[in-house]
Structure 1
Amino acid sequence: MGCFTFKNVGAAAVVCGAVALAGTSAFAITPNKLVSGGLPAYTGATTTDYLTDGYLTNWKSSNAKEIALNVGEGPKKLLINWESFGDCAWATDFTSGCGHTGVALSNFKILTSANSTDGSDGDWIEAASIVNNPVMARGVEIDFAGKSWFKFVSEGEVGQILEIEAFDMSAGGTDTWFFMGTSISQMGIKQQDTDSTTAQLIHARFPAYTPAMLRGGIGCINSTEVVEHLSEYLEYAGNVKFWAIEMGTNDAWGGGDWNLQTYVDNLQTIIDSAKAHGITPVIARIIATDSSKAGWQINPAFLEAVDKLVADNGLPQGPDFYGYFKEHPELLGSDGVHPNADGGGQAMHHLWAEALSPLYAVGDTAEPVLPGDSTATDSSSVRLVRIDAPRGESVTVGVFDLNGHYLGISWQNLPQGRYIVRQKVQGRIVNKVLLKK
């Protein structure tokens, strides 16, 4: 691609091409193709297009007791995700700090057919039965070999169904995400209008991937209440590969550090439980406040704790909500705490997509590159990665973390992990990823 001269203007610069990250099986992502996007949803005698459009506009919803989609033949297994509206909280009774409202899609069956022509006729068999579901977003995997249609058949109240998605899981896809969070996520990831979701942004950058994304923010919840309801999180969102976690604003409320150890212990419990169920947690740094409005700021000890938890547990790096919103307080609401509707939620989606992009650059076939291995990944053969370097310097030799942040010219004192190493080899710039053991 011919963009190997790394002269940065300002604090950040862009490498053309990018680093193919050397991953391990723990972080490798196998695509699961979205097969329902834009398809008509049949609700009896009518059809809708907003149930499969991928947008978050919450004034478009359905309360039909039967909703059918024809995704065509081919997939042997489907993951079917759905989201309901309510007040946008994932669960209504996980916290005592706020009252939440909404009717979950609670008691229903998923049926499949190979010969229907309109979602009503033909032969149908039961693929799944859901009883007493209490959450507003969930996914269920079903057998689909030889079928072309599936439909929801509800027995009770339906509530407001926002979106239905179906993903081809025939190859054992692992591109599945649950966004656990507080009201920051409830308002930013789900409720606000955005230009694109994290999943859409990832797909735009890595077309082979269409992430299955469940939004799980709950206003007022803190890490203690998450741990108290951890069995329910695992029951209803434990069949995904990744948990994208935004947690800590309510634990750190007021700016003190009196609750720090409880927060650390709770996050470690969440991490351990997720890993025990084959889930990889990705933790965001706690969002900054606008202290001029809120009257307080996140205590730095909480940020240091998040960074240490990520490093000690060998987790992928999450987005830095603190750094970004500290620099952009105009994207926070009048309370100085929550993302606003005028770009705040959009920024959160973009920050998540940027942070997760290195995992997709790995792909599902990359092999680890060990220290001393002479094989380098040529930056002309891979995708775009943003790299931060010292202001005004030309960096031809250096070590960067997987988000592209400059760490210096040596990794001798760095902890174990994977790093981007930038070198000048035979007169040209080459990037490779090394695993320090």
Structure 2
Amino acid sequence: MRPALSTGRGGQVLRPRPPAAPRRARSLAALALGLALAAAVGAWAGRLPPYAPPPPPDRFGGPLAPAPLVSRGRRVASRPPGGEVLVDGRYRTSAVWCGGHPTPAAPAWVAIEVGGGHDRLLLSFTSSGNHDWRDQVNGAPADYRIETSADSRDGADGHWRTAVSVTGNPVRARAHALDFHHQRWVRLVVTRLPEPMNPWGLFLDEIDVHDLSRGGTDGWVFLGDSITSTVFDRAPAHQPSFAEAVAARHPGYFPAMVSAGQGSLHHRDAPRLVDEVLALLPEARVVVLGFGSNDGDPAAFRADLVEAIRRVRAAGRIAIVPRIPFRPGSPVDYPARLNAVVDEVTATLGLLPGPDLYAWFRDHPEQLADGLHPDDRGAVEMSRLWAEAVAPLYPPAGAVAAR
């Protein structure tokens, strides 16, 4: 029997509506559709790792996003040959790549097959035959470019596009971010050396390539005096370095680091050096200000320290200041006077406190080779102290890094 038809206003016939699905049934149907779509997207995405959006910054600017090292042990091609030593993880050794005297017509180049799946990279090189950051005579390049290729088979053939071009490089170690979408090879091409230069020409000891595809911000520059130059050169006797120490504490992380040490650095030179670091290393998220061992005037030191911090923060970076190392045998304990300034400025400006290098070397003076510079054991301990002090910039132990 048919249901009776009802009439609305004006005698309009209203036909009965089909019964509505229960709300719970509609919700379950929507959920099932969503799961099916998610499964389809997952199948389409293949082996892409899951992505978790980074948490909001904490009061110190962390947590840092990981920038995994992806170049160690990769396939390498070079001209002149021998470029495989550049991905062996050994810095400041006699095992270096000798590139001769390159020119624009006859460049020296080294290519690394990073492989696919990376949208953005950070490439850094070191010429560790030079001690200070601004030393170049022992093999650093002046003019160079970084190229990428999607179709090269051996690092030499194929099509190459220029991602970065540099003229007049003034330092021994540098890092550059570059687009790597749908690419497989990255190549450093050196076309000119600075003057003066050693008779044998270009010497590089390592190239590190880090993956920035997931927004990596784990980039560090250690700005300081000769202590910085000595400790953070990552020589075999100074391993585990800061990067290795952080990697051991925080799985999934391996900081990209550059040592910007300059011998005899005084506080009055620090703001200018900060400007150079910010300009030459734009991907360095954390800037360590490790000077003071050559200084003695607390008021002047404070003024330049605060200005250096201001410039770092104005550039959107994180500034960290360690306590100045103890110096045994000095008639006046200048580090103690200046560390009172470090403590006050760190607290006033809300900085993450750096390691207490004063207390460590006061208690371990035998780890100072000459009463000022750490020996090999002291360098390793400094890197360990740094890794411990900056742990708040990384996820807690056991947490999974966002990829």
Per the shorter chain, which TM-score range? Answer: 0.7 to 0.9
Q: 1:164/1:322 Cα in 2 relative to 1: closer, same or farther (>3 Å)?
A: same
- Paired residue for 1:300, among 328, 333, 336? 336
Residues in 2 aligned to 1:30 and 1:271: alpha-carbon distance in whole angstroms: 22
- Paired residue for 2:313, among 275, 286, 290? 275
- Residue equivalent to 1:194: 238
Following superposition, the deviation at residue 57 of structure 1 comes to 3.2
- Paired residue for 2:392, among 348, 353, 358? 358
- Paired residue for 2:132, among 72, 89, 93? 89
Given that 2:132 and 2:260 are in contact with CA atoms closer than 8 Å, whether structure 1 keeps it comes out as: yes
Write the deviation string for residues 305-347 of structure 1: whole angstroms up to 9, x where unpaired. 10111111111111111110111111101x3111113x12111
- Residue equivalent to 1:142: 178
Query: What percent identity do the matched residue pairs reach?
Result: 31
Residues in 1 aligned to 2:59 and 2:268: alpha-carbon distance in whole angstroms: 31
After TM superposition, list the pairs within 5 Å mapping 1:306-345 onto structure 2. 306-333=342-369, 335-341=370-376, 343-345=377-379
Given that 1:61 and 1:160 are in contact with CA atoms closer than 8 Å, whether structure 2 keeps it comes out as: yes
Q: What letter corresponds to residue 356 of structure 1 in structure 2?
A: V
Aligned residue pairs, count: 330
After TM superposition, list the pairs within 5 Å mapping 1:161-310 onto structure 2. 161-190=204-233, 192=235, 193-252=237-296, 259-291=297-329, 296-310=332-346
- Residue equivalent to 2:87: 52
- Residue equivalent to 1:348: 382
After TM superposition, list the pairs within 5 Å mapping 1:22-37 onto structure 2. 23-24=58-59, 26-37=61-72
Write the deviation string for residues 403-425 of structure 1: whole angstroms up to 9, x where unpaired. xxxxxxxxxxxxxxxxxxxxxxx
Following superposition, the deviation at residue 47 of structure 1 comes to 4.3
Write the deviation string for residues 31-71 of structure 1: whole angstroms up to 9, x where unpaired. 11111122243223744443123333332222322111000
Residues in 1 aligned to 2:91 and 2:396: alpha-carbon distance in whole angstroms: 29
5+ residue gaps, structure 1? 1-21, 93-99, 253-258, 364-380, 384-437
- Paired residue for 2:96, among 42, 61, 68? 61
Following superposition, the deviation at residue 101 of structure 1 comes to 4.8
Residues in 1 aligned to 2:258 and 2:264: alpha-carbon distance in whole angstroms: 19
- Residue equivalent to 2:188: 152
Residues in 1 aligned to 2:282 and 2:80: alpha-carbon distance in whole angstroms: 36
- Residue equivalent to 1:38: 73
5+ residue gaps, structure 2? 1-56, 100-107, 194-200
Given that 2:60 and 2:318 are in contact with CA atoms closer than 8 Å, whether structure 1 keeps it comes out as: no
Following superposition, the deviation at residue 106 of structure 1 comes to 1.5
- Residue equivalent to 2:161: 125
Structure-1-length-normalised TM-score:
0.71
Residues in 2 aligned to 1:24 and 1:184: alpha-carbon distance in whole angstroms: 29
Residues in 2 aligned to 1:285 and 1:361: alpha-carbon distance in whole angstroms: 24
3-state secondary structure, aligned to 2:232: helix
Q: Once structures 1 and 2 are overlaid, which stretch shifts more, 317-326 or 101-110?
A: 101-110
Given that 1:139 and 1:237 are in contact with CA atoms closer than 8 Å, whether structure 2 keeps it comes out as: yes
Given that 2:62 and 2:394 are in contact with CA atoms closer than 8 Å, whether structure 1 keeps it comes out as: no
Given that 2:234 and 2:241 are in contact with CA atoms closer than 8 Å, whether structure 1 keeps it comes out as: no
Given that 2:63 and 2:392 are in contact with CA atoms closer than 8 Å, whether structure 1 keeps it comes out as: no
- Residue equivalent to 2:122: 79
Residues in 2 aligned to 1:25 and 1:72: alpha-carbon distance in whole angstroms: 35
Given that 2:113 and 2:185 are in contact with CA atoms closer than 8 Å, whether structure 1 keeps it comes out as: yes
Following superposition, the deviation at residue 76 of structure 1 comes to 0.7
Q: Which has the higher contact order (CA 8 A, sep 6+)?
A: 1
Following superposition, the deviation at residue 207 of structure 1 comes to 1.1
Given that 2:139 and 2:204 are in contact with CA atoms closer than 8 Å, whether structure 1 keeps it comes out as: no
Write the deviation string for residues 184-205 of structure 1: whole angstroms up to 9, x where unpaired. 1111221652231111111111
Q: Once structures 1 and 2 are overlaid, which stretch shifts more, 62-71 or 265-274?
A: 62-71
3-state secondary structure, aligned to 2:238: coil
3-state secondary structure, aligned to 1:108: strand
Q: What letter corresponds to residue 112 of structure 1 in structure 2?
A: T
3-state secondary structure, aligned to 1:317: coil
Following superposition, the deviation at residue 79 of structure 1 comes to 0.8
Following superposition, the deviation at residue 170 of structure 1 comes to 1.4
Write the deviation string for residues 356-405 of structure 1: whole angstroms up to 9, x where unpaired. 12221359xxxxxxxxxxxxxxxxx769xxxxxxxxxxxxxxxxxxxxxx
Structure-2-length-normalised TM-score:
0.76
Following superposition, the deviation at residue 228 of structure 1 comes to 3.2
Given that 1:40 and 1:48 are in contact with CA atoms closer than 8 Å, whether structure 2 keeps it comes out as: no
Residues in 1 aligned to 2:82 and 2:140: alpha-carbon distance in whole angstroms: 22
In terms of fraction of residues, the more helix-rich structure is: 2
Residues in 2 aligned to 1:159 and 1:263: alpha-carbon distance in whole angstroms: 38
In terms of fraction of residues, the more strand-rich structure is: 1
